[in-house]
Structure 1
């Protein structure tokens, strides 16, 4: 970490050539005053909900928010980009490189500086090829996390965590070879990671390969597909029993996009940062309203599989499948904007990078599994003379859940609170809510629908500064907290299902 901080500061202070104005790109400063639930005070909910305060985080977002980014939107952050592009000594060849560092401010006032997929690229343009066409080789010397499979960030995969979180400390570098033509592209690439082998107690190299292609069949229709294979090491639990069982994963993703009047977009977290003034791109340019109708419809799907420990057979492994589907629709009619979003994620997909639940294990036979399913609709309208955009979003979510077939046992004569099985709600990877054992008599509790509605406004004060406000209501009967019963044993109990919150931001983006 200190090496990256020193490198960033040295690069900014000693760079011999004049710095371009975009050396800090995708910068966001957020001054926030918020309360994720005004109906609850500190210590009354899980997770805890303090009273209104300056600052906010993921707890202040809803399930339909931030579908195409890994950030909550409340962070203060920037990307330091030192970029250089030069023609090579050989005709048709161009060299470029970018040192990109994510500068993320912590609530304590400290700063994290992380590599954000710095790269070195060679691009060859054969005679007669267009300006945007070429054959390129890109090397990621530290982190190839932005080189991913999938298209919407929420269900993308193949980033650095595909080798499990144990690999990220040592870095996950990689390389990508791509051919880009006017109507199509194709690529192949790979990554490596160092992960501790729990059998020999030494780090070993794990490999991953990725490939994909896209084709603009029509000016309005694009089809894309990609796939990959990754090693994840061995099962630690079986290694402790001197059994070597490899964990390998593979999968495919595909997308169909139909667009009229708008280009095919991608998550900002997939793009490689650059600040070449000739091709400078503003990531947060103000919204434009050219008039008329324009829209984009996309349907994406992924199927993944990986080998995990079989809990029903000693020393054995078995494949576990994972599925994700997503639909995104966006339309602009004069100064109206409409959006539709739908998502399906199997529980195994949510836990894919962990991998599994518990880690490195498949679910026992007979486990009742339910996927995450949600949908949301939104609309906003831009009042041009006031630079004001009010909007409204409504959505419903069936959270992912599982219920084990194995009853809990509390001795030879257990109390009723320790018998039977429980339903566990999984809101995201390793984010769990354990429901009480019974609801409405002797029947087991089940995960219920979550409803959410949000009113929003955005008031653009200038091209770089805006005031943003949100008021949202959520009805969630799956909220639980642990309280001691009459025997002194902590048991899950339902919280009040109503939550009313607000976020107010004064945000600068440049």
Structure 2
């Protein structure tokens, strides 16, 4: 009987719809041995720099790395995707759905599972329209984080965190209605979030609206624009005083792309994962070299604004503007690749989702603000017979910084080491380096200084799925600081050694 039941079960499974060999989409296993700074030991820097070890993280990346993805590149991860597409009972209508879950392994060996913008889509193709044209309605039941505005991931906005991090625990679902034609597209959409109202101490619904369009002016030139409006709740500090002060944000983004020999792409993190064999893409696949010249140049910009508490006038809000500009240029000539990357981000743009610095407050009058700016150039060459690709990249960055009339990071009663006017370097969202109050023998106020970085790389493809990757990088960053006690026992910021030398070695499998 046991044998009979086994045969019957096997038969039933064979009648079910076949599973595609790709239900785990974009799987990446990374075995890493690295040291983010061989010139420093444990406890000598902030953040801490242990000796060479197995494993790596964001400390092992440079400011020009991972411009179009949220990942560091050292993770072991996969996207579990269960996808189904079927023609509807009505002519011209197609239904599809994807349950996509991000599976991310932590250094401890634990596994984190997170919805990665699962969706249900209805697509209607009117008579006479092309196969890739249609009117689609997409619903994101749990998270619409990958439905964003902007085009390069580093300066994208409108994800789940646009409602502040207090909304992400409850999920940020949404919907998108889009018309796609051969040479243009347009869409509208929206999101909702649940955030605690600090006045009534109950959750309330916040709304966001988004719209955008793009058109191929020429076969080689595309123009795109998008905008959005989002509620962010009320300012907690004023709510504690019984004052309702809503935080509302809005913005617009635009991009122009000129491309020859390569299609117009989007950030990997914006694409909806699926395992349909007809549209399946392997984002971690090795680079292809079809020969000839191909290149693309894109220029995008965003202007955002939001209402924050006025630190100079009690119980008042003021608008705070935020700006970002990105330039990306890539060229491929046979086996040679060249690229240029440039970025401008105002400090308010970096902190836009927090929102502000400190949270929910504008900068006081008289604050000196400086934006983040960097430019990086690089090249690599593929040695076909050896399956080896050596490369080099170098860049210079002026980090964002601010200096207010009174230091904002010490609280209402700051200790002596955190008082007075001083410069604070903002490397990324809430990543601060506090500089000493004075520099040099002339006792001038310390200013943020440029950061220099250069990196040599190689990639050796051992098979279609496994590659060895190596990086050696040098940085000169005179903005590095740590806190150490002075002669009176008060912790004061002190400069660290500006020189940094690190390496990353990876054995990475992709399938």
Interval containing the TM-score (normalised by the shorter chain): over 0.9
Structure 2 residue aligned with 1:275? 275
Partner of residue 430, structure 1: 430
Supply the distance in 2 between the matched residues of 1:235 and 1:109 (Cα, whole angstroms): 39
Deviation for aligned residue 1:466: 0.2
Partner of 1:76: 76
The reply to whether residue 190 of structure 1 matches residue 190 of structure 2 is yes
CA deviation map 1:272-303 (0-9, x unaligned): 01111222222223211122211000000000
| Partner in structure 1 of residue 333 of structure 2 | 333
For residues 489 and 409 of structure 2, the distance between their equivalents in structure 1, rounded to whole angstroms, comes to 17
Q: CA deviation at 1:405?
A: 1.0
Q: Matches of 2:465 and 2:480 in 1, distance apart?
A: 38
Where does 1:347-426 land on structure 2 (aligned, <5 Å)? 347-406=347-406, 420-426=420-426
Deviation at 1:415, TM superposition (A): 10
Aligned pairs for 1:63-462 within 5 A? 63-406=63-406, 420-440=420-440, 441-462=442-463
How far, CA to CA, are the matches of 2:459 and 2:430 in structure 1? 33
Q: Relative to structure 1, is the Cα distance of residues 63 and 269 closer, same or farther in structure 2, using a 3 angstrom cutoff?
A: same
- 1:190 and 1:419 map into 2 onto residues whose CA distance is 44
Q: Structure 1 residue runs of 4+, over 2 Å off?
A: 13-18, 406-410, 414-420
Cα gap change, 1:409 to 1:59, in 2 (>3 Å)? closer
CA–CA distance in structure 1, aligned partners of residues 211 and 134 of structure 2: 17
Describe the SS at the equivalent of 2:154: helix
1:238 counterpart SS class: helix
Q: Residue 482 of structure 1 corresponds to which residue in structure 2?
A: 483
For the residue of structure 1 that corresponds to 2:437, the secondary structure is coil
For 1:197 and 1:485, the matched residues in 2 are separated by 44
Give the stretch that moved more between structures: 400-409 or 493-502: 400-409
Aligned partners of 1:346 and 1:372 also within 8 Å: yes
Q: CA deviation at 1:14?
A: 13
Say whether residues 1:54 and 2:57 are aligned partners.
no
Conserved 8 A contact 1:45-1:481 = yes
Deviation digits for residues 153-174 of structure 1, max 9, x if unmatched? 0000000000000000000000
Number of equivalences: 495
1:77-118 Cα shifts (integer Å, max 9, x gaps): 000000000000000000000000000000000000000000
Aligned to 1:500: 501
Shift in Å, 1:50: 0.2
CA contact (8 A) 1:408 1:420 kept: no
* Equivalence for 2:5: none
| CA positional deviation for 1:18 | 2.8
Unaligned runs of 5+ in 1: 1-12
1:429-466 Cα distance to aligned partner (Å, 9 max, x none): 00000000001222100000000000000000011100
Moved more, 279-288 or 396-405: 279-288
In the alignment, structure 2 segments of 5+ residues that lack a partner are 1-12
What does residue 4 of structure 2 align with? Answer: none
Query: Post-superposition shift, 1:76?
Result: 0.1
Mapped to 2, the partners of 1:408 and 1:60 lie a distance apart of 29
CA shift digits 1:337-379 (9 cap, x unpaired): 0000000000000000000000000000000000000000000
TM-score, length basis structure 1 = 0.95
| 3-state SS of 2:445 partner | coil
Question: What is the rounded CA distance, in whole Å, between the counterparts of 2:110 and 2:237 in structure 1?
Answer: 37
Is contact 1:408-1:421 (8 Å) kept?
Answer: no
CA distance in 2, matches of 1:459, 1:313: 60
CA distance in 2, matches of 1:91, 1:455: 56
How has the CA–CA distance of structure 1 residues 443 and 377 changed in structure 2, closer, same or farther, with 3 Å as cutoff?
A: same
> Secondary structure in 2 aligned to 1:448?
coil
| Alpha-carbon distance in 2 for matches of 1:61, 1:77 | 18
Shift of the 417–15 alpha-carbon distance from structure 1 to 2, 3 Å rule, reads farther
Structure 2 CA distance for partners of 1:36 and 1:409, relative to 1, 3 Å: closer
For normalisation by structure 2, the TM-score amounts to 0.95
CA distance in 1, matches of 2:229, 2:277: 37
Secondary structure of the equivalent of 2:436?
coil
Cross-structure match for 1:491 = 492
CA distance in 2, matches of 1:14, 1:168: 41
The 3 A distance-change label for structure 1 pair 409 and 45 is: closer
The answer on whether the counterparts of 1:399 and 1:425 sit within 8 Å (CA) in structure 2 is: yes
Counterpart Cα distance in 2 of 1:320 and 1:125: 43
Following TM superposition, by how much is the alpha carbon of 1:420 offset from its aligned partner in structure 2, in angstroms?
Answer: 3.1
Look up the SS of the partner of 1:257 in the other structure.
strand
Aligned counterparts of 1:15 and 1:217: Cα–Cα separation in 2: 49
Q: How far did 1:19 drift?
A: 1.6
Distance 1:233 1:169 in 2: 15
Cα deviation, residue 406, structure 1:
2.2
